[in-house]
Amino acid sequence: MNSDRTGFPASPTAEDVTVPSFAVIPGSQVRSALDGREKEIVEVVEAAYRLHGAGRTVNPPSSFLRFPDRATSRMIALPASLGGESPVDGLKWISSFPANVRSGVPRASAVLILNDPVTGYPFACLESSIISATRTAASAVSAADRLSRDRTRPTRVGFFGSGLIARYVHTFLEGSGWSFDDVGVYDVSADSAAGFRLYVEQSGGAAPVTVHRSPEDLIRTSDLVVFATVAGEPHVDDPSWFGHNPVVLHVSLRDLAPSVILASTNIVDDVGHCLRAGTSPHLTEQLTGNRDFVHGTLDDVMAGRVTVPGDRPAVFSPFGLGVLDLAVGGFVYDRVARSGRLRVVDDFFHERRRYG
């Protein structure tokens, strides 16, 4: 049977179709496959955006599981199908339990299932909190680059929120060649802000780290602003804070009031996905009754169909597409398979033939 990736048959005949083996890839292998490859991962994510823009993906709306007795917690299913030279289908299943952090446990946990597009059989289960954070950071760094090309490249970065995603975005910025004169941080938790400062200092970056006492101070002194919070509704509503026209990576999606959105150039990953579920762009659509404030997608910017002027704030609001998880997950699977250290679960599927 010919294949361009383990478990991915290429143009099979009826006689070629077999059930793929099933592998489990734990977090240690995921991290090893991704560590130090920030530039490469950004390219993987951008390629997925191009496939999505070309209509070579299937990315249905995410499904949210919420709990009446745990209002802040949720689980999200992101099914998707990615085309291209190495097609793959699959599902990310990710939970967000913010109360975990009080016990020193990470807020989010996730798994990613990869399915063979010929038989439909799952062929891998990967620990995916790392993959999810990686694709989010790579997407943000791609946007930081693309949205700043027609303005002075940012030299002062500010992180509003200092958890796992903030750390990953910082790592990807550094690993993609960005350097800064100052790294700022603001968090409602002083301990979290102090922990982020220590993390940045120990990462080897040369820039000094400033812990800001207020959101306004952070935003006004940063020309690249990263929102990475767990906010459920807008809490930044003064457009004058953005009067210096920064690039804003609105990763957490619900921080900015419609007044800020309307005063900015707005780029999203996918219009239909981003304008739902109470995101800041969704609230802006509900307020205005239209989507005219959305100027295009990141793929539009990459392809030159949309330009981002430097005379107003530029906001990137990514809802987070499941096809990005598949792209990064496929990258991890390939690297682990080539290393010869793939952990295959023998006889995971009890019957591999229709009639036994």
Q: What pLDDT is recorded for position 273?
A: 93
Q: Supply the CATH classification number for the domain 3-131+322-339.
A: 3.30.1780.10
CATH 3.40.50.720 assigned to domain 136-317? The reply is yes
Q: What pLDDT is recorded for position 14?
A: 47
- Residue segments in the chain with a per-residue pLDDT below the cut of 50: 1-4, 6-14
Say how far apart CA 74 and CA 54 lie, in whole Å: 32
The torsion angles phi and psi of 229, rounded to 5 degrees, stand at: -115, -175
Residue ranges, CATH 3.30.1780.10, the chain: 3-131+322-339
Q: What is the Cα 115 distance to its own chain's centre? A: 21
CA dihedral 274, 280, 281, 283 (to 10 degrees): 110
Residue ranges, CATH 3.40.50.720, the chain: 136-317
Q: Is 115 left (phi over 0), alpha (psi -120 to 50) or beta?
A: beta
Contact, 43 vs 143, CB < 8 A? no
What DSSP character marks residue 154?
P
Say how far apart CA 36 and CA 189 lie, in whole Å: 29
Comparing C-alpha atoms, which of 149, 134, 139 is closest to residue 299?
139
Single pTM value for the model: 0.91
Q: What pLDDT is recorded for position 18?
A: 84
Alpha helices in the chain (DSSP H): 27-34, 38-53, 129-147, 164-175, 190-202, 215-220, 258-262, 271-274, 280-288, 298-303, 322-339
pLDDT, tens digit (0-9, with 9 covering 90-100), for 53-101: 999 999 999 899 999 999 889 999 999 999 999 999 999 999 989 888 8
